[in-house]
Each structure stands twice: as C-alpha cells, then as structure tokens.
C-alpha cells in the first residue's frame, strides 16, 4: 500500500527526513514514533501528497505521488494537524461531502454518515468552525472513516482526547484495518501503548 525509497526532505537549511525507506502492507497498522522535530508530521504530509519530497520515491497503492499526486490523493486520507479544509459547513454536511466525493457505492450513492456522527458523539448541526480542538480531532477521525480510503494517515490521533473518545477512535481504526486499510499514525514518544499497532517505525531527529 505504501512504499518509500530513500525519501528525503530538506526545508531551508534543515534536513527533516533523510533517506527513509519502508513499506506498509494492506491491513497493517503502523505507529510512527520519535521525538518532536523528527519529521513525523512531514512524513505524513508527504504520504498524503500535501508536501513534496526533496528526493526519493513514494508510492501509494502503486501510484507515484510525485508524478500523479491527484490520483494518489484518491487512495489516501490524512487527518489531524492540518485543519479540516472547510469553514462554512455543518458537521453532517462536511461528512456527507467527503462520502459523496470519495466513497460512492456501485449505484453512485454516498454512504450514510449519520451513524458515524453518533459514534464519535458530535452534534450533526454544529458548524465545523465552532468545534473545539478535540471535537475537530473526532470529526477528522469520522471523516477518515467516511472517506473509506485505502491508506489512512493520522497525526497524533489520540492527543487531547479523553478515554471514551480514545476507545471510540481505536475501535474505528480497528474496523478500518479489518476491511483492509493500511494505517500509519504518528504518536507521541510518551503516549501509552495501544493494541492497535502491529508495527512501529522510529524516527530520529536528523539535525542540520
């Protein structure tokens, strides 16, 4: 599902990622661990086609993200740490938009997102701009599930959430993994271990 080869990212004079090579298969759940500044968020953004790598190669579901970023974007969904992309929408409308643009069934109908909203405990009529940080994180989690993308990326998915919310997110991620999605999530070095991960990739700070 994900293949990177000697992936590097240099921002200004700073080398954020240096020659990263790894692969994530269908149904894998990989945690990206590492100290702050080790490039976890940058790596997720490169995988999500939101940032261009300086050198190296990245494939998402067999699609080269450098040459075909918009095709790769159909296969991947990143939530957390990058905003929601919309300001003028209600929770229900936001999730319906994602389902309608990404997850149509064979008859061209979007999946029903109401049960997802109920599971994450959000008010469907709330404007997304008025949500708190943790509510936005839950909405992003619901959005990634509504997208039914083959590769799900999460930037610190449990940060700032209480225990019931963490359990809810873990259950949703497990379901996505069970349907074959590959999951990669950045986690804080101090985060408690979670049973969902079957592999860990540890990033170290590269330095200048």
Partner 1 sequence: MGAIVLRELRVIGRRGALSAAMCVHVALLTGYLLAWGNGNGMPVAGALTVYDQTLMVDVILLAILLPWIAARCVAAERGDDLVMLSMVTAIPPSRVVVARALAATASLILVIASGLPTLILAGRISAVRMSLVAEYELALFSLAFVSSATALTWRHVCHSRVIGWFAAALSTAAVVSAARMAPSLVIAPVLTAAALCAMGLLALRADVSLRYLAERSE
Residues making contact with partner 1 (CB under 8 A): 11, 41-42, 45, 48-52, 69-70, 73-74, 77-78, 82-89, 93, 96-98, 100-102, 110, 143, 147
User: Smallest distance from the beta carbon of 190 to partner 1, in angstroms?
Assistant: 23
Q: Which is nearer to partner 1, 67 or 195 (CB)?
A: 67
Burial class for 127, CB neighbours closer than 10 Å (0-12, 13-18, 19+): middle
Which helix (H) or strand (E) element contains residue 101?
helix 91-102
Q: Is the dihedral of CA 29, 196, 50, 109 positive or negative?
A: positive
Structure tokens belonging to residue 4: 């990177």
**Rounded distance, CA 126 to CA 139, Å?**
11
User: Smallest distance from the beta carbon of 105 to partner 1, in angstroms?
Assistant: 14
User: Smallest distance from the beta carbon of 164 to partner 1, in angstroms?
Assistant: 25
Q: C-alpha distances in angstroms, 53 versus 5, 11, 20, 47, 150?
A: 11, 10, 11, 9, 21
Q: Which is nearer to partner 1, 17 or 29 (CB)?
A: 17
User: Smallest distance from the beta carbon of 52 to partner 1, in angstroms?
Assistant: 5
User: Smallest distance from the beta carbon of 110 to partner 1, in angstroms?
Assistant: 8
User: Smallest distance from the beta carbon of 195 to partner 1, in angstroms?
Assistant: 28
Q: Which is nearer to partner 1, 17 or 197 (CB)?
A: 17
**Rounded distance, CA 9 to CA 192, Å?**
29
Q: Which is nearer to partner 1, 66 or 194 (CB)?
A: 66
Q: Which is nearer to partner 1, 45 or 177 (CB)?
A: 45
Q: Which is nearer to partner 1, 148 or 177 (CB)?
A: 148
* 116: CB partners within 8 A, 6+ apart: 95, 142, 145, 146
């Amino acid at each position: 599902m994900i293949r990177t080869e000697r992936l590097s990212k240099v921002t200004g004079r700073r080398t954020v990622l240096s020659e990263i090579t790894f692969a994530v298969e269908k149904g894998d759940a990989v945690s990206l661990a590492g100290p702050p500044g080790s490039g976890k968020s940058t790596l997720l953004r490169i995988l999500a086609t939101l940032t261009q790598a300086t050198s190296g190669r990245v494939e998402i579901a067999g699609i080269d993200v450098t040459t075909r970023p918009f095709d790769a974007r159909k296969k991947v969904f990143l939530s957390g740490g990058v905003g929601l992309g919309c300001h003028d929408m209600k929770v229900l409308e936001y999730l319906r938009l994602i389902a309608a643009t990404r997850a149509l069934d064979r008859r061209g109908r979007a999946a029903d997102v109401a049960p997802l909203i109920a599971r994450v405990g959000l008010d469907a009529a709330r404007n997304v701009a008025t949500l708190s940080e943790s509510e936005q994180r839950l909405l992003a989690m619901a959005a990634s599930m509504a997208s039914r993308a083959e590769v799900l990326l999460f930037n610190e998915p449990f940060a700032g959430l209480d225990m019931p919310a963490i359990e809810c997110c873990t259950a949703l991620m497990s379901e996505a993994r069970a349907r074959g999605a590959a999951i990669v999530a950045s986690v804080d070095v101090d985060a408690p271990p979670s049973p969902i991960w079957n592999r860990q990739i540890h990033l170290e700070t590269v330095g200048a």
